[in-house]
């Protein structure tokens, strides 16, 4: 087996439908960077940092995302790390507008920003010792979808060949997406198996570019708007945003990070939190009414029956609402592509 050329620790944050984020840690200084943080996976991201006792210095956005919600704003607020992006990146919260070739100190192993226009005008890749974090510029066997403004086939052709033609074949590439559960490839493998990188004729590449009709996320425009302002949560009126972040997912994530129990949603009755409890209360009242009716007055039979039926109905409603919440909680952020099972 070939020696791993990477001199940094890399933890992939993987969503089963394709999105990829990466935690990069210098093993000596324990300084860290996060590439393309996912809003829904910030708990996993911070746990990865904590497990390595790492101090986050850099949050790097490889381009404007039209297919998932960025966690950069939240992560920066919680950690104080700088947000790094291309000078033309639309996010208003960027704190470091990196120049092409600019080095970001990570212990004694700097990360280097390289401009990579083509998929968007603000695309960058990040070079680490022995590895490149390619964003959507180059995927495993493919390239990213054009779901953000600024795509240019000629620029993309130039980017691919300027960045990868003369790079060491063993260099590990970490893509921004993969629909088959993978988190890495190599320059050697992509030169052989990726038709986009393998194509050396500009006109043929542009034909390939023009014929790329893969569907993009239908909510891309709205997601780009949210990411431009640095969203920290998705409110209830945006719950239908293609399953990208439902109110249940948002509420559970917020409360888990504060170690608080999950409360019922505001527009639901208390029955949604404790359906079986209403059953118990209704049965108890019915039993009590039977006893009192036997001892005191027959009319109490009817009152207890009415109360029992009412509370039984609330219990059934609570169970139904609980089921709906669980179904919504399974909705997931996704990159367009076949659902896959995330490997262990």
Between 329 and 37, residue with greater pLDDT: 37
According to the model, what pLDDT value does residue 112 have?
Answer: 98
CA distance 21 to 291: 63
For the segment 137-159, the average pLDDT, to the nearest whole number, is 96
Which residues lie closer than 8 Å to 67 by C-beta, 6 or more apart?
A: 19, 145, 147, 177, 216, 217, 220, 223, 335, 336
Mean per-residue pLDDT of the chain: 80
The β-bridge relationship of strands 131-135 and 124-128 is antiparallel
CA distance 13 to 33: 13
- Model confidence over 117-141: pLDDT tens digits? 999 999 999 999 999 999 999 999 9
CA distance 186 to 179: 17
Which residue from 224, 299, 204, 227 is spatially nearest to 71, judged by alpha carbons? 227
What tokens does 148 get?
A: 């953000």
Which residues lie closer than 8 Å to 330 by C-beta, 6 or more apart?
A: none
Query: What is the pTM for the complete model shown?
Result: 0.71
For the segment 309-327, the average pLDDT, to the nearest whole number, is 62
Q: Which CATH class is domain 9-232?
A: alpha beta
According to the model, what pLDDT value does residue 254 have?
Answer: 45
- Model confidence over 40-79: pLDDT tens digits? 889 999 999 999 999 999 999 999 999 888 999 999 999 9
Domain ranges across the chain = 9-232, 237-242+245-329
């Amino acid at each position: 087996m070939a020696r791993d050329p990477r001199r940094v620790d890399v933890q992939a944050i993987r969503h089963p439908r394709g999105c990829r984020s990466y935690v990069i840690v210098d093993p000596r200084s324990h300084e860290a960077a996060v590439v393309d943080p996912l809003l829904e996976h910030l708990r996993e991201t911070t746990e990865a940092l904590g497990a390595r006792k790492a101090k986050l210095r850099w949050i790097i956005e490889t381009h404007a995302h039209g297919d998932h919600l960025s966690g950069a704003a939240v992560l920066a607020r919680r950690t104080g790390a700088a947000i790094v992006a291309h000078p033309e990146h639309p996010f208003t919260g960027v704190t470091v507008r990196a120049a092409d070739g600019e080095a970001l100190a990570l212990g004694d192993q700097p990360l280097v920003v390289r401009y990579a226009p083509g998929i968007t005008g603000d695309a960058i890749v990040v070079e680490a010792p022995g590895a490149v974090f390619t964003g959507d510029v180059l995927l495993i066997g493919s390239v990213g979808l054009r779901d953000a403004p600024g795509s240019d086939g000629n620029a993309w052709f130039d980017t691919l060949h300027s960045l990868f033609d003369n790079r060491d074949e063993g260099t590990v590439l970490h893509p921004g997406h993969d629909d088959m559960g993978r988190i890495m490839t190599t320059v050697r493998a992509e030169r052989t198996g990726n038709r986009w990188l393998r194509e050396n004729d500009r006109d043929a590449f542009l034909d390939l570019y023009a014929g790329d009709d893969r569907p993009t996320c239908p909510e891309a425009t709205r997601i780009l708007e949210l990411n431009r302002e640095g969203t920290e949560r998705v409110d209830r009126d945006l719950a239908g945003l293609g399953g990208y972040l439902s109110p249940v997912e948002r509420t559970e994530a917020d409360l888990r990070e504060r170690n608080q129990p999950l409360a019922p949603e505001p527009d639901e009755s208390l029955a949604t939190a404790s359906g079986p409890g209403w059953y118990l209360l209704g049965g108890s009242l019915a039993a009590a009414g039977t006893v009192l009716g036997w001892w005191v007055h027959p009319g109490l039979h009817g009152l207890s029956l009415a109360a029992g039926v009412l509370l039984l109905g609330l219990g059934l409603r609570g169970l139904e609402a609980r089921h709906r919440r669980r179904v919504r909680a399974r909705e997931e952020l996704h990159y367009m592509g076949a659902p896959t099972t995330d490997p262990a």
